[in-house]
Amino acid sequence: MATADKVIIIGGGIGGLAAALALLKRGIDVEIHEQAPELKEVGAGIQISSNGTRVLYALGLEGALKHVQVLPSRRVIRHWNTGETWNWFDLGATTAQRYGTPHVMLHRGDLHGVLADAVRAYKPDAIKLGRRCAAISAAGDRAEVRFEDGETVQAAYIIGADGIHSKVRASLFGADRPEFTGCVAWRGLVPMEKLPAHISQMLGTNWLGPRGHVLHYPVRRGELMNFISFVERDDWQIESWVTQGTNDELANDFRGWHEDVHAIIRNIETPYKWAMMVRGPMPRWSQGRVTLLGDACHPTLPFLGQGGVMAIEDGYIIAACLAKYFDDPMTAFARYEDIRRDRTATVVRKSHENRRSAFSPALADQNAVAVEVAREWQQERVRERMEWLYSYDATVVAI
Ligand SMILES: Cc1cc2nc3c(=O)[nH]c(=O)nc-3n(C[C@H](O)[C@H](O)[C@H](O)COP(=O)(O)OP(=O)(O)OC[C@H]3O[C@@H](n4cnc5c(N)ncnc54)[C@H](O)[C@@H]3O)c2cc1C
């Protein structure tokens, strides 16, 4: 294929790589342009629920994932202050049987590595590094990307997979107007051997409390514990994963919380903080021969653990649409948007709503957590709420 017949993907994150792999598997030539000088992901965990592993398995990654994933047995809920523990729901074999593929916990770098290796196995030079997109434009019946160094490249299609601060989105639709949620997320990793045995278990733990929420789960074959927390704070409004905080600042945000939470916080190697912003769903996110996927078009608060999974589903579907309608951009992108619009908008909306159940001032009362667990955090209730999400099969959707 000549350069002009390729699909160019801007951004080599999880969504960009998943889309590239799906396109290559369908025989469509791809080039990924990633701004970073080396290919790596932030040091943090990511949960991929069954609807995401269904796509990753269809892309042929089941074997590679087995070398790095954790298959947790279950999730538990704990009381922010007393540490009381309740079983929440089964994962492991139960989930795999119910949905056909498991719910896995991964280091983001490991998932990223698995995807990048698979892309390079198809096309060794598919990923171009140190290539920062500055703008996108139409060029006759081609799309054109201009990089910050001034170079331009044309392609049959351009997919903006360049994340929450997408340059491709800004080029097509102008600047967005994010709204601060009043909530900051912390994340960090802890070597498992630094934690006492009753914490370093192969299960997911959510701590319910007032003004904040904590979760932790094992990644990288169980060698690391991934810590994430959310706290109400209005003095920090920078939306970036590279901003470091300190262990003391993080500990201060969780004053009064159980000693097990602080045992993890003390051992986090580098705590990072991220101000959480919301954006309204986009009714359309394609123009001419350019479209978007993942956080570039539907950034999602992390309260459902689905932003990355949605990017993976998007990647699979856009590849199927381009494979079927390569010579007809209008139909290809109309089908892609029609298939993805309601699902991704619902995920964005429900993630936002979940922020309200993740923590509330009422949970300061010692007995309120038990009441809340009995009402909302039961296996059957979770199934009712999540079935539509986890049972979805992006690999069989009619294109
Ligand atoms: C605290 C927290 C926890 C989360 N947990 C989960 C979870 O458990 N499960 C889940 O599914 N999701 C989770 N998410 C959401 C998930 O991280 C994102 O939705 C996901 O990373 C989006 O993938 P993406 O490929 O669209 O964008 P990104 O991962 O942001 O990748 C974008 C890529 O584009 C590159 N790029 C940016 N600008 C340019 C440019 N101008 N030119 C070239 N390249 C560029 C970047 O360097 C990057 O490599 C979580 C999010 C947060 C904040």
- 147-159 confidence digits (pLDDT tens): 999 999 999 999 9
Q: Is the pLDDT of residue 2 over 70?
A: no
Give the residue, 141 or 66, on which the prediction is more confident. Answer: 66
Tell me, what's the pLDDT at 295?
A: 96
What is residue 268's three-state secondary structure? coil
Answer with the residue of higher pLDDT: 83 or 43: 83
pLDDT of residue 3: 53
The mean predicted confidence, pLDDT, of the chain is 92
On the question of pLDDT at 18 being above 80, the answer is yes
- Alpha carbon of residue 360 to chain centroid: 24
pLDDT tens digits, one per residue of 302-345 = 889 999 999 999 999 999 999 999 999 999 999 999 999 999 99
CA dist., res. 250 & res. 393, Å (int): 39
**% of the chain beyond a pLDDT of 70:** 99
Q: Give me the active site residues, please.
A: 217
Q: 181 CA to middle of ligand 1, Å?
A: 19
More confident residue, 45 or 3: 45
Atom of ligand 1 nearest to the CA of 15: 25
Taking only the tens place, the pLDDT of each residue in 367-392 is 888 888 888 777 777 777 888 999 99
Please count the CA atoms within 13 angstroms of the CA of 225 that sit on its side-chain side.
Answer: 29
Give pLDDT, residue 352: 86
**Cβ atoms of residues 258 and 83 within 8 Å:** yes
Closest CA to 227 of 238, 237, 218: 218
395, with CB counted inside 10 A (0-12, 13-18, 19+), is: middle
Let me know: does 136 contact 158? Beta carbons within 8 Å.
yes
368 sits in which H/E element: helix 368-376
For residue 77, list its beta bridge partners: 86, 206
Ligand 1 contact, 309 CB (< 6 A) = yes
The size of the chain, in residues, is: 399
pLDDT tier at 229 (50, 70, 90 boundaries)? Answer: very high
User: Separation of 195 CA from ligand 1 center, angstroms?
Assistant: 28
Q: Is residue 295 within 6 Å of ligand 1 at its C-beta?
A: yes
State mean pLDDT over 72-99.
Answer: 88
Distance 165 CA to ligand 1 centre (A): 10
Mean pLDDT, range 249-255, rounded to an integer = 95
Q: How do residues 156-214 score in pLDDT, each as one tens digit?
A: 999 999 999 999 999 999 988 888 888 999 999 999 999 999 999 999 999 999 889 99
Between helix 307-324 and helix 329-358 the angle, nearest 10°, is 170
The residue with tokens 């056909």 is 100
Residue type, 155: A
Cα separation, 302 vs 275, whole angstroms: 12
CA-CA distance, 247 to 186, in Å (whole number)?
Answer: 10
Q: Is any atom of ligand 1 closer than 6 Å to the C-beta of 146? A: no
Is a pLDDT exceeding 60 seen at residue 216? Answer: yes
Q: Residue 16 — pLDDT band, cuts 50, 70, 90? A: very high
Contact 217, 308 (CB under 8 A): no
